[in-house]
């Protein structure tokens, strides 16, 4: 298999994963504001399930490769929280804090996803 195609595939997967996260957080924000109608709930629910499956797969495969560490949790956020809250000041902690601050926290209704 061509390495460049694999790299492009991983980048596209990560982009799709992030887009799912942004969508799910939008649904969550609407839910918190009590603005989800039955129609938007029905339209959004499958995306929540897809998001969970993609999150699980990303944690088991990609996050394991990226962080060079076997998963101890089911979802990527829990892994990022573990690294971010670590007492060790290493590259995993620094990278997970960057991911949380720049890619995730800004879309979480609480402002603090990780």
Q: What is the pTM of this model?
A: 0.89
Residue 93 · residue 101 · CB < 8 Å: no
Digit-by-digit pLDDT tens for the chain (114 residues) are 688 889 999 999 999 999 999 999 999 999 999 999 999 999 999 999 999 999 999 999 999 999 999 999 999 999 999 999 998 889 999 999 999 999 999 999 999 999
Hey, what are 1's tokens?
A: 């298999």
Handedness of CA 33, 34, 37, 41 (dihedral sign): positive
Phi, psi of 90 (to 5 degrees): -125, -175
Hey, what are 7's tokens?
A: 């790299």
């Amino acid at each position: 298999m061509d390495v460049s195609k694999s790299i492009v595939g991983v980048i596209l997967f990560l982009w799709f994963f992030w887009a799912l996260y942004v969508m799910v957080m939008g649904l969550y924000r609407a839910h918190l504001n009590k603005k989800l109608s039955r129609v938007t709930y029905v339209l959004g629910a499958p995306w929540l399930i897809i998001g969970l499956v993609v999150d699980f797969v990303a944690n088991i495969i990609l996050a394991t490769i990226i962080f060079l560490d076997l998963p101890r949790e089911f979802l990527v956020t829990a892994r990022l929280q573990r690294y971010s809250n670590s007492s060790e000041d290493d590259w995993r902690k620094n990278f997970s804090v960057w991911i949380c601050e720049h890619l995730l926290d800004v879309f979480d209704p609480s402002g603090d996803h990780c």
